[in-house]
């Protein structure tokens, strides 16, 4: 099973210098590519000088995560694509469990490893943790991470488990499935495009898995930190895009209406936290959603939509009202 590790880079010379050596050292059974999103720093020169054996794919523009990978993966020959952030530190043996998982797990199309925090290695990391899920209203969360609360890794998720979505920080996907789904939705630019991608895959009958025996460490926030209003804008808008595209129509309209109300409450909460740029980001997200609603509606596929797509009815209620911060407690609740 041929694996291509593809690192998307945008002005990340410092990250490549720091993290690429481990990728090269611990990925002997894979072919490594760097897909550059029209960087203006010294990334290309650094790669050509220090890693002449690594293939460089030069995208003409910075189309973000979604368009960047869509363009880069077109001409790569492999059975499995590994989409790897440039700020991920891989570990010895990280690739070993992946081919076996694809061979033995039924309908496995997408896989993610355990994602731990590079700066605090005993804890899970925000982007992906031990596998992604959503609630009935489309809010994403993870095993090991609910909103801003991160769990300590005590081996509680050292398993193989079907999940709802896999993180784009380190995602393995069958090439045939990536092609079937026509890649990521480039209108997302960045953030939550992997949720939409996995949702579409599941609507097509594929499955997404977490493999706890594969482990990487993620720095996180290298492109946009959690405190950046642009990230707030993209997360709120793109989540509404996914609901519009991936739910039965009658459910989608009801949930969008509820989400708009709850997003408004979240905006008011930002005011009380004196985070006025985030308050404005939510309103910008809603107006962008209204403008692009027809475009998203036309992207709805003629497929059998999942009726049971969520793990809990409201992660917002569970977290902020019931104060549940642990995934295993949430599932039992």
Q: Is the pLDDT of residue 224 over 60?
A: no
Q: Which sign does the torsion angle of CA 264, 269, 274, 275 carry?
A: negative
Percent of the chain with pLDDT over 70: 98
Unique residue bearing structure tokens 């002449």? 52
Token pair 């072919």 is found at: 31
At residue 333, the pLDDT reads: 58
Q: Calculate mean pLDDT across residues 301-314.
A: 91
Domain ranges of the chain: 3-218, 229-332
Name the average pLDDT for the chain.
95
Q: What is the pLDDT at residue 220?
A: 84
**How confident is the model at residue 222, as a pLDDT?**
53
Least confident of 52-66, 110-124, 301-315: 301-315
Cβ atoms of residues 194 and 128 within 8 Å: no
Give mean pLDDT, residues 295-316.
Answer: 92
Give me 256's structure tokens. 């969008």
Residue keyed to tokens 């010895």: 92
Selected residue with higher pLDDT from 224 and 101: 101
Q: Tell me the per-residue pLDDT of 278-294, one tens digit each, with 9 for 90 and over.
A: 999 999 999 999 999 99
Tokens 């790669």 correspond to what residue?
47
Per-residue pLDDT at 225: 60
Asked whether residue 223 carries a pLDDT value surpassing 60, the answer given is: no
124 pLDDT exceeds 90? yes
Is the entire prediction scored with pTM above 0.85?
A: yes
In Å, how far are 54, 149, 313 from 329, measured between CA atoms?
A: 45, 14, 14
Confidence (pLDDT) at 302: 85
pLDDT tens-digit profile of 131-183?
999 999 999 999 999 999 999 999 999 999 999 999 999 999 999 999 999 99
Tell me which long-range contacts 293-302 makes (C-beta under 8 A, separation of at least 24). 293/244, 295/187, 296/187, 296/241, 296/244, 296/245, 297/244, 299/185, 299/245, 300/244, 300/245, 300/246, 300/249, 301/200, 301/203, 301/245
Task: Quote the CATH superfamily of domain 3-218.
Answer: Spore Coat Polysaccharide Biosynthesis Protein SpsA; Chain A (3.90.550.10)
pLDDT tens column, 95-115: 999 999 999 998 999 999 999
């Amino acid at each position: 099973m041929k694996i291509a590790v593809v690192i998307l880079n945008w002005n990340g010379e410092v990250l490549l210098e720091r993290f690429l050596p481990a990728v090269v050292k611990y990925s002997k059974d894979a072919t490594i590519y760097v897909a550059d999103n029209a960087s203006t720093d010294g990334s290309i020169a650094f790669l050509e000088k220090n890693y002449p054996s690594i293939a460089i794919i030069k995208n003409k523009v910075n189309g973000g995560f979604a368009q960047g990978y869509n363009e880069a993966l077109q001409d790569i020959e492999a059975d499995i694509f590994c989409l790897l952030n440039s700020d991920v530190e891989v570990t010895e043996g990280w690739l070993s469990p992946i081919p076996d998982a694809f061979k033995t797990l039924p309908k496995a199309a997408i896989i993610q490893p355990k994602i731990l925090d590079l700066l605090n290695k005993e804890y899970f990391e925000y982007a992906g943790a031990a596998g992604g899920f959503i609630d009935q209203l489309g809010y994403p969360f993870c095993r090991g991470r609910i909103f801003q609360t991160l769990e300590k890794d005590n081996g509680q998720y050292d398993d193989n488990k079907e999940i709802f979505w896999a993180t784009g920080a380190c995602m393995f996907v069958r090439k045939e499935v990536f092609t079937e789904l026509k890649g990521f939705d480039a209108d997302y630019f960045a953030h939550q495009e992997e949720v939409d991608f996995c949702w579409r895959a599941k609507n097509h009958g594929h499955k997404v898995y977490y493999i706890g025996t594969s482990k990487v460490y993620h720095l996180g926030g290298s492109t946009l930190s959690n405190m950046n209003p642009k990230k707030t804008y993209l997360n709120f808008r793109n989540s509404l895009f996914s609901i519009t595209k991936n739910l039965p129509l009658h459910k989608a309209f009801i949930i969008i209406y509820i989400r708009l109300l709850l997003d408004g409450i979240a905006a008011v909460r930002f005011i009380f936290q004196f985070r006025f740029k985030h308050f404005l980001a939510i309103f910008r997200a809603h107006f962008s959603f209204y403008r692009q609603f027809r475009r998203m509606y036309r992207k709805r596929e003629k497929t059998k939509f999942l009726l049971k797509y969520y793990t809990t009815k409201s992660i917002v209620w569970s977290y902020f009202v019931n104060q549940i911060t642990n995934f295993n407690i949430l599932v039992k609740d």
